[in-house]
Amino acid sequence: MTGKQRLLSVITGGKADRIPWVPFAGVHAGKLLGFSAGEVSADAEKLFSALMEVNRLYKPDGQPVMFDLQIEAEVLGCSLLWPEAGPPTVASHPLAQSTEVPSRIPGPEEGRISLELEVMKRMKDAVGESTALYGLCCGPFTLASHLKGTDLFMDLVLSPEYVHSLIAYSAEVSSSVASYLLDAGADVIAVVDPMISQISPDHFTQFMEDPYSGIFAGIRKKGGVSAFFVCGNADKQIEPMCRTSPDSISVDENVSMEKAKHITDRFGISLGGNIPLTSVMLHGNQQDNMKYAVDLIDSLTSEGLIISPGCDMPFDTPIENVIALQQAVHEPETVREMISNYQKEEIPFTGSIPDYSSLPRPLVEVFTLDSATCAACTYMLAAAEDARSHLKGEIDVVEYKFTEAENIARCRVMGVAQLPSIYINGELAYSSIIPSRQELIKKLEEALDR
């Protein structure tokens, strides 16, 4: 089987000669040829060259053309920040002070949508016979968050009809971009919605079930196959996601693959994931990556399984680590023997834990993957910063990014189980769910009173 045949067979419920491998190399692709994250996010020639190097080095069964959830938001009026080692992030929200629901649907020639479509066509001509190409579009809840900002979480309760309308518009944008990508040659449409993990299953059913069912039905009608990507602790969302009928679901390290697969198998939906992005891929060695991959394979049934990073891999992920993962998926028996006696060493914690009882004012600690690259983390940190502004600096806010080795160790010492999370004076307040502005401010005012 070709890699494309292997992956598409698994996604659509068929058999394959081995488990498919899909490295999510977004801006990391640029590292392979010495390009910056910004260059491969905005230059078609550099992006195409980098993707071809991904295809040569990592031998994927499937690969994304771009992993950027800000493309639609940028066209719709959000300003962006451009970090040196990550995709752009949303810096402004055009609907922050408005109850407007836009009506304009971006066209295929607008902004960086045209860049993604151009490179998709070129990749289709170059490797499309052997490699399944993923076209990514921003999911409707994350797109609505980009447009509205953190007030969207309060609107879920206070203005549900407005949220329904805004989500319906965002879903129309997602469907349109999905259609453009299919016309350009995409084999799999991944609707990427990291913010889904930040709402309750009831809110998912109330606001997201119908829009997502429509998106996936539209992809199927055009002859494409679909993937529903979510980040964060989405354990509680797997079954509601399955009810929207995607062809596959992809999750990160916050989700138990074993528990998720029991659910996806019941619905006949394939499952992809969930190599840890930082503790294994970025800061681990080759043996760590091999061991995680074969342990994951050994813990699950192979039918309907895709091995991939938990999300878009960090820009600076060592190339040898990704090659080690590829070898583990392609040759699990050989690799299993190679690492049979290997034990991963924990990263030592050399920092200090604050004495919370003696702090001069409440301390809000925000544990994130990285607020510069993770949408859910961006909005979790924004909620804390907004609360600090409202309280006129009477609280302190610090972010601990899981991309830094010291913070991986800090999370272990403090028992942080899910990202993103907010701790107030050393006590867990919110785990993988973004609080409304009013709720967080009320909790912090109580901390100030003490």
Cα–Cα distances in Å, from 157 out to 2, 34, 292? Answer: 49, 47, 41
Structural domains in the chain, CATH included, are 3-338 (3.20.20.210), 356-449 (3.40.30.10)
Taking residues 189-194, what's their average pLDDT?
Answer: 97
Q: Would the pLDDT of 317 be above 70? A: yes
Write out pLDDT tens, residues 134-155.
999 999 999 999 999 989 999 9
**What is the C-alpha to C-alpha distance for residues 276 and 175, in angstroms, rounded to an integer?**
30
| Candidate from 65-69, 133-137, 342-346, 404-408 with smallest mean pLDDT | 342-346
Whose tokens are 């965002």? That residue is 170
Of the chain, the percentage scoring pLDDT greater than 90 comes to 91
Q: Would the pLDDT of 438 be above 90? A: no
Taking residues 197-212, what's their average pLDDT?
Answer: 96
- pTM for the whole structure: 0.90
**143 neighbors 173 (Cβ within 8 angstroms):** yes
CB atoms < 10 A from the CB of 23, how many?
Answer: 28
**176 neighbors 106 (Cβ within 8 angstroms):** yes
pLDDT at position 253 is 93
Write out pLDDT tens, residues 84-96.
899 999 999 999 9
pLDDT at position 432 is 85
Cα–Cα distances in Å, from 80 out to 29, 91, 208, 431? Answer: 21, 5, 26, 27
253: CB partners within 8 A, 6+ apart: 273, 274, 275, 276, 277, 279, 310
pLDDT range class, residue 373, cuts 50, 70, 90: confident
pLDDT at position 363 is 96
| Geometric angle at alpha carbon 13, from 9 and 15, rounded to 5° | 55
pLDDT at position 433 is 85
pLDDT at position 293 is 97
Rounded to the nearest integer, the mean pLDDT of the chain is 95
Q: Would the pLDDT of 307 be above 80? A: yes
| Geometric angle at alpha carbon 235, from 164 and 147, rounded to 5° | 30
Give me the half-sphere count of Cα atoms (radius 13 Å) on the Cβ side of residue 100: 10
Specify the DSSP element, H or E, that contains 228.
Answer: strand 225-229
Q: Would the pLDDT of 372 be above 80? A: yes
297: CB partners within 8 A, 6+ apart: 19, 305, 307, 328, 329, 332
Q: Would the pLDDT of 449 be above 90? A: no
Q: Would the pLDDT of 26 be above 80? A: yes
Q: Would the pLDDT of 82 be above 70? A: yes
Write out pLDDT tens, residues 87-131.
999 999 999 999 999 999 999 999 999 999 999 999 999 999 999
pLDDT at position 84 is 86
pLDDT at position 298 is 95
| Geometric angle at alpha carbon 301, from 300 and 305, rounded to 5° | 85
Q: Would the pLDDT of 273 be above 90? A: yes
**22 neighbors 272 (Cβ within 8 angstroms):** yes
Of the chain, the percentage scoring pLDDT greater than 70 comes to 100
Write out pLDDT tens, residues 238-270.
999 999 999 999 999 999 999 999 999 999 999
- The helices-and-strands tally (H runs, E runs) of the chain is 19, 13
Token code pair at residue 171: 């879903």
Any alpha helices (H) in 300-393, and if so which ranges? 319-330, 332-338, 375-390
Secondary structure (DSSP) of 27-50: THHHHTTT--HHHHHH-HHHHHHH
pLDDT at position 450 is 60
Dihedral sign for Cα atoms in the order 214, 219, 220, 225:
negative
386 φ, ψ (degrees, to nearest 5): -65, -40
DSSP state of 14: -
